[in-house]
Structure 1
């Protein structure tokens, strides 16, 4: 975001929240530094949403769209799903002997193998 965009955003916030000051050059500089890599339209949309629902003015963190990061659990779940898909594809594409019961039970515990 450009400095002019940051000032415009801060003026918008000050119109909604009377105690939000825009006159401090140091405050403007800090907001500019924190928001410099953000898209103005995304931040403006977050500001509007914040102003509609919150009693207190936002801080920059409230206006930066959250990037979804995967947890360890998400990674494990994704790996399990991929393993399940690979196992089912292998079973469908290759002539195999019947699957041993202990593997079928494990496969069903992961949410698959119902059609086997």
Structure 2
């Protein structure tokens, strides 16, 4: 990242985190020193993922790490899997129909101990 990209990064962070100080020239220089060898696309991708999860402003370390780690991929897979299962359960719930009234009555009788099975011929 060049210095201009770091300043643009600061503005993006400021839009999402009001407490983030973008006017500190020393801070810009320090961040540039650590981010100069990292592609801007990777840093911005990391920031996007960070913004979606965290309520406090990021640190340099949180933006320098690789875009996708094995743990992140696993975590994302688990979230998607859980969401899929919940959607499946909701679809079942929408399609479900209550049992017929005679079955409900028979279940009440079984529960109360008053049910008498019909005699088989």
Q: TM-score, normalised by structure 2?
A: 0.54
Secondary structure of the structure 2 residue equivalent to 1:12: helix
Q: Distance in 1 between matches of 2:36 and 2:47?
A: 16
Secondary structure of the structure 1 residue equivalent to 2:66: coil
Work out whether 1:57 is the aligned partner of 2:53: no
TM-fit CA distance, 1:65: 2.5
Structure 1 counterpart of 2:108: none
Larger radius of gyration: 2
Q: Distance in 1 between matches of 2:19 and 2:61?
A: 19
5 Å-filtered alignment, 1:16-31, equals 16-31=16-31
Secondary structure of the structure 2 residue equivalent to 1:37: coil
Unaligned 5+ runs, structure 1 = 69-116
Q: RMSD of the alignment, in Å? A: 1.5
TM-fit CA distance, 1:66: 3.5
Q: TM-score, normalised by structure 1?
A: 0.56
Structure 1 counterpart of 2:6: 6
Work out whether 1:41 is the aligned partner of 2:41: yes
Spell out structure 1 runs of 4+ moving beyond 2 A: 65-68
